[in-house]
Structure 1
């Protein structure tokens, strides 16, 4: 088994944890492997038993290892989908963070629209239509409107039928939740209704290319308007609601 180099700086407990976790994530310590004993870890890392024990307890709490009393610590079998659940706490986002999230959505959301078009059932289409209708009737309540806007996008990730996409976006929406109300207040209700109506029509028509193009246009427009607002505090120009 690969030996670890000694830790030389402060914040020992955190560094022991991070070093051990990196060995697991990289595969150097594979699922089922027994970790070095506490005394071996102390020797290899040059730290106290208290620091090692604290790190191991954290690794166990987060599902990376199993500590078996009298036997030692073993790397658990886990998958990415399980580990993404650990990221669910909500974080406060600054302006750059909001733009970074929107950039991530610009990179990813258009690319999975062909899968939405391919997988969407009649029930899925009805669900999307129902959310859209609720959005149209909630234009005077932006908090509710923001929740419905997010619900529409999250429904799309469900239709993709990929557990990793679902988990990643579950985390993303949890992180973005606190900022999304502000974003929707800046943009107003009309743009979301406009783009969602066009998306729904493209999905109904089973037009993968059109759905991808509309989603890219939608997220790019959102990114540009929010960036302009942050840069110059300008009121965005809302596109006219005209369906193709």
Structure 2
């Protein structure tokens, strides 16, 4: 029997304003270990909130913030119930400026605010925090693990984008500060994370002595966990759930 959860909308104060967010936690008495869920570009919506619900049902208090809050409350654009490849391109054109304006410095500041909010919540315990991210959110999750190593004990990223580029502020360059255990589920033939970036990420984590496991999900496309998109792959998505909950179970 699935664990019942309580869902609510919350506002999280940050140094730059207020981030709207989705909060979900088990109905059973808490507090529970905290998880910070980083959205993909399309943001908090029914499909992504259902993913937060599933994590919460496994025994966690989950915060899903709108990390593009500086551009407005979610949804930033009107989203269809199902995102086709054609609509995906159109939506990205609208969302991209807001996503590109979220610099690593702003992302780190926001991560601190989200973690502070969870630490102050009576619904979350004072133990280590887990972080997971999807698509662009995987990069933000990786940055959070590097920026707050004393708080983040487990970090996962799925079909992550540009995790180990040649940019001077690429997320993988923070590997030396990470103390968490990491898991990555890469999409096969993902243009946003080609093989050379997968190799570069692997080398950075290995050289830094970071506990991690990375798997390339054969045949899976970028976005394979997102049920409301044409990229969804049920088998790969279930594989992701097993890996994610095992990671959190070991560390939280």
Report the structure number with the largest CA radius of gyration: 1
**Global fold match (TM > 0.5):** no
Kindly indicate which of the two structures has a greater share of residues assigned to strand: 2
TM-score by length of 2: 0.24
Bigger relative contact order, structure 1 or 2 (CA pairs below 8 A, ≥6 apart): 1
